[in-house]
Amino acid sequence: MPVKLYTGKGILEKHKEQLAELGGRCVVITGKSSAVRSGALADIQRIFEETGTEYEIYDGISENPSVSSCIEAGRKAYAFQASYIMGIGGGSPLDAAKAAAVFAANPDLDEKGLYAMTWNRVLPTVLVGTTAGTGSEVTKVSVLTNSEGRKKSVHHDLLYPVLAFGDPAYTASMGRTLTLTTGTDALTHLTESFFSKKANDISRACSIEGIRNLIPLLEKAADHFDDLTEEDREIIYNASILGGMAIAATGTVFPHNVGYYFTEEYQIPHGFASALLTDDLLSFEETCGREYADAFYERTGISHERFRKLLRKVLPEYEIHLSEETLQDILPRWQNNGTVKNTRGDITSEEIGKMLRRKFPETE
Ligand code: NAP
Ligand code: FE
């Protein structure tokens, strides 16, 4: 992993010289309020003052960020002659910062060019996480919403940030629902990565360690949210980074991509949308040679039943009924899809259709 990642309380202050080395002009890319609410922006502004860094803030990034907002942010950085870009926030601002760095270095590029990867330079990016879920801090992936309203990711080695900071104290301002949606995203990364065809001993070790640590704390967050300690927050954050490292090596498998549809169509938050078919993924893996499924339960020490119970507890009951017509419309999405092909056991879009029919029957 080419990212220099630093984690722990007060971590930015300890590495301010490294920030100063990136040049004296920075555009900070963030959402409406998380940079302020988490305390990260105040820390950065203090460091910028000390190091004499000139900066501007672009705070127009929404959840599931649009390519157009990244173009706008990139143009701002280009006009400002920024020497680097800093993303502060959850996965949305971090992914937007990666894409904005491309547009800043290629001011004539448009959406089509971004996805066609007709570019080969970017501005350096620094990422400061404020949620504990996506692991975007350590991946070369930027998940954006295109002009057709579809979530579509860009993967490129140049999208790795040069520096990433994870101060778990910044995640303390997340309420129960956000802690659970983002934590569930981390759980699905760790789980999906384990069942990826590209999994290896190291990525699986990340998955196992992350899941062992994360599940008891998601259970605690669900049942006794107010009892979460600073240390618990740190463990959850670190598990999200392990998830990021795992998917950086393996990619995700089908539930993540199916989840994109439910975020686009029903605005289900990314973590919960990704978890809609996690239980089905486990059941599917149990039917296609028990070797990996058994190893998964044995090494995590978490049974399928405990997994299922946690998912039932955290996921809301969505009132969604998919008609046969809708299914025929959407299933082709998963006919030739990379995450479907990446799933161990060769799942087909017909099998995904069966899962969706069971979960969201046409009538009540
Ligand atoms: P998010 O979309 O970045 O943020 C969700 C909400 O949480 C926003 O309203 C945000 O406020 C708020 N928020 C963020 N930090 C907070 C804090 N510390 N305290 C209180 N509120 C806070 O959420 P996310 O789940 O982290 O990111 C999801 C996105 O990441 C999706 O687009 C997903 O597809 C993508 N993703 C990327 C990767 C990758 O490898 N690149 C992996 C998985 C998911 P603001 O509006 O102020 O920001
Ligand atoms: Fe995710």
Structure confidence by residue, pLDDT tens digits, 243-255: 999 999 999 999 9
Q: What is the number of other CB atoms lying within 10 angstroms of the CB of residue 197? A: 13
HSE value, Cβ hemisphere, 13 Å, CA-based, for 181: 18
**What residues in the chain have per-residue pLDDT under 50?**
none
pLDDT at 125: 98
Domains of the chain: 4-170 (3.40.50.1970), 175-359 (1.20.1090.10)
Ligand 1 atom with the shortest distance to the CA of 32: 47
Q: How many residues does the chain have?
A: 364
pLDDT at 284: 97
pLDDT at 364: 65
pTM score: 0.97
Q: Which ligand minimizes its atom distance to the CA of 153?
A: 1
Supply 283's token pair.
Answer: 């059941």
Ligand 1 atom with the shortest distance to the CA of 59: 47
Q: How far apart are CA 207 and CA 245, in angstroms?
A: 9
pLDDT at 114: 98
pLDDT at 363: 82
pLDDT at 53: 97
Ligand 1 binding pocket (C-beta < 6 A) is 31-34, 37-38, 63-64, 89-93, 95, 130-131, 133-136, 139, 141-143, 170-171, 173-174, 178, 182, 185, 270-271
Please give the distance, rounded to the nearest whole angstrom, from the Cα atom of residue 288 to the centre of ligand 2: 25
Question: In whole numbers, what is the pLDDT of the chain averaged over residues?
Answer: 97
pLDDT at 252: 98
pLDDT at 24: 94
pLDDT at 3: 96
Give the mutation target among 98, 178, 242, 264 for probing the ligand 1 site: most ligand atoms within 8 A of CB.
178
pLDDT at 279: 98
Ligand 1 atom with the shortest distance to the CA of 271: 25
